[in-house]
Amino acid sequence: MHYPLAPMLALLLLFTMVAWAMSRPADLWFVLPALLPVASFTPWSGWWLVDGSDLLILALMGGAYLRWGMDAWRSSAAPCARTPLSMRWVYLALPPLLLLGVWRGLDDARGGASWASLLAGLWSQGPYGDYDLPGNTLRVAKSLLWGLLLMPVLYRWPQGAPLRLARGMVIGLFLVCAGVVWERSLYVGLLDFSTNYRTTAWFWEMHVGGAAIDAYLAMALPFAWWSAWSAPRGWRWYAAAALVLLSTYAVLTTYSRGLYLAVVITGMAMGALAHRYHFDAPDGTLWHRRAMAWLLAALVVETMGVWLGGAFMSDRLVRSKVDLHQRMAHWKRGVGLLHTPGQWMLGLGVGRLPAHYSGQTAEGALPGHVRWQPKAGGGSEAWLFGPARPDIRGGLALAQRVALVPGGGYKVRLRAHMGEPVWVKVQLCEQHLLYTLSCQLRTRDLSSASKTINGWMELPLLGPALASEGMGAGWREGVLSIRVLQADALLRLEGVELIDAQGRQVLRNSFFTFGSRYWSSIAYDNFLPWHLDNLLLELLVERGLLGLLVLAALVLWALVLLGRGIARHKPLALTVAGSIAATLLVGCVVSFIEIPRVSIMLWLLLVVSVLAGEDQPLRQP
């Protein structure tokens, strides 16, 4: 009911999910991977600790558990399967590990405060927060919590689980590819391969950088190949082939060299295993073999087109050696956060990397802060802090998405307080997430003596007309962002108004009456403090050697089970194994454990591994 975007529609959709899960609980294997990649609207809602993906998981999980309870109540209910014996150890190993990580994270975050004040602060924070605050521990931990709660109901209805999950991954990949085409066609151009623009699709968690889309595409691409390999001749094969081409386009336009390497290595390994174990396509006709060969040729042409069609990919490849040295220095600084034997063994605590990295490393200080402070009479103030030091690169801005009006100039009005003069940059840009197209902006030195009109500081923005040029310009959204440029400076905002050319105020919650609802933040040009860019090292830093070894054991056990399935000539075992392996490979140069939506999808692959790799049905109760 409190969801900021169409709450009644949200309730209707969630009740629909509950009803679906109650009537067809086995469909959880399909619905979760199909909808999770697009089930987030954080830039519009302003919710951060939880988002639409959490509501989706809770609705589906609640419906499945209700069905379980109804089946248990009725003595005539058909028996259902249990968790396989080979995976029951997870229930014993991971919950204590999760509780330990959350306890250490919250204990570290509270500092000298009492537990009562910490919990009271978390309660008053609600669904909002920031990465260096205690709420980040809960945000990162929720993916493993949802995974553990989903396991019993997923295993209770295992009918056709690998096939359902594969189809769900295909649908989810199609939705992501549609988002990629929509994003690039509106904001940069489908065939523009020279502009410094990297695709982000619907992964809003990347507002502070990171590699959510890299990890997801590495995870999902093997299922696109499976769909083309298994589709019969006709429209289904052509649709699957089109998905392979679209998903490869998405991979190429991320310009992620680690993703490129992971995709190539995984594809070659899957091909070698398919040849070694004589995997034959269901439609093993001469036409099908020729069609797959032509599809491979088309992918080579597509790759060469992106490479030769612009300078951005070649520039990225040329910089690989320099970037690798910088990344290794980043890893060294991250591991250097572990000082005591207890930290090496148990970690700093779940979600505590950004706070420690920004506080203990000279190069990793956060480029700014956005804090929400409650006012005595109700409502909030937005406190914008500049970088900690003058040499910190980039910035962090308070932001809100707005619908743009073609033509004309915009004007920003600020009701603000500051102790000392503060340099502030205000800009309104045609912008999807991280990369700006056209902007109207203003940089001003504000002080208590600045001229005001009825208490408002007015800043007419300068720049070209927005949403007035190019195909689909009217569909582009804008992002208003406000950031403090001056080091160690503070701007206290009581209200922000954005006035369009017709004199209309277009911002929502402009006086912060509802706290940070509809507002979010965006990082510019500096994404190091929020991520360690290595999956294993981030697990080590936050969860210690104990957590790293337990989670690594789970992944290795899943791969062993899938290896057995590959030896039994099970195509989906090969596909799931390739998906997990590609995710681990890209995890060598990126981290995504702090991105719950992607972590949940990796968890689904690990959970289904025992079903994709075994011949025997699950034991009945």
The position carrying tokens 């259902």 is 80
Per-residue pLDDT band at 470 (split at 50, 70, 90): low
Task: Provide the pLDDT for residue 78.
Answer: 58
Task: Provide the pLDDT for residue 281.
Answer: 83
What percentage of the chain has pLDDT greater than the value 90?
A: 80
Whether residue 32 is predicted with pLDDT greater than 70 in this model: the reply is: yes
- Could you tell me if 460 and 442 are in contact, meaning their C-beta atoms sit under 8 angstroms apart? yes
Per-residue pLDDT band at 77 (split at 50, 70, 90): low
CB atoms within 10 A of CB 188: 20
Whether residue 449 is predicted with pLDDT greater than 90 in this model: the reply is: no
Averaged pLDDT, 544-564: 96
Cα Rg of the chain (Å, integer)? 25
Q: What is the mean pLDDT of the chain?
A: 92
Alpha-carbon span 84 to 425, nearest angstrom:
57
Task: Provide the pLDDT for residue 618.
Answer: 36
Alpha-carbon span 520 to 47, nearest angstrom:
8
Whether residue 138 is predicted with pLDDT greater than 80 in this model: the reply is: yes
Task: Provide the pLDDT for residue 619.
Answer: 38
Task: Provide the pLDDT for residue 479.
Answer: 96
486: tokens are 């001056």
Task: Provide the pLDDT for residue 615.
Answer: 46
Task: Provide the pLDDT for residue 60.
Answer: 97
- Could you tell me if 554 and 90 are in contact, meaning their C-beta atoms sit under 8 angstroms apart? yes
Query: Domain coordinates of the chain in residue numbers?
Result: 7-156, 161-323+530-612, 369-525
What DSSP letter does each residue of 136-166 carry, written as one string? Answer: HHHHHHHHHHHHHHHHHHHHHS-TTHHHHHH
Averaged pLDDT, 604-620: 73
What percentage of the chain has pLDDT greater than the value 70?
A: 97
Whether residue 468 is predicted with pLDDT greater than 50 in this model: the reply is: yes
Whether residue 437 is predicted with pLDDT greater than 70 in this model: the reply is: yes
Task: Provide the pLDDT for residue 536.
Answer: 96
Per-residue pLDDT band at 76 (split at 50, 70, 90): low
Task: Provide the pLDDT for residue 364.
Answer: 80
Record the pTM. Answer: 0.95
Whether residue 75 is predicted with pLDDT greater than 80 in this model: the reply is: no
Task: Provide the pLDDT for residue 620.
Answer: 33
Q: Which CATH superfamily is domain 369-525 in?
A: Galactose-binding domain-like (2.60.120.260)
Higher-confidence residue of 401 and 391: namely: 401
Per-residue burial over 534-551, b if 16 or more Cβ lie within 10 Å, else e, is: bbbbbbbbbbbebbbebb
pLDDT digits over 305-351, tens only?
999 998 999 999 999 999 999 999 999 999 999 999 999 999 999 99
pLDDT digits over 228-282, tens only?
999 998 899 999 999 999 999 999 999 999 999 999 999 999 999 999 998 888 8
Higher-confidence residue of 365 and 11: namely: 11
CA distances 342 to 109, 300, 347, 545, Å, are 17, 50, 7, 10
Phi, psi dihedral angles at 20 (to 5 degrees)? -60, -45
| Closest among 214, 76, 147 to 583, alpha carbons compared | 214
Whether residue 22 is predicted with pLDDT greater than 90 in this model: the reply is: yes
pLDDT digits over 192-203, tens only?
999 999 999 999
Whether residue 180 is predicted with pLDDT greater than 60 in this model: the reply is: yes
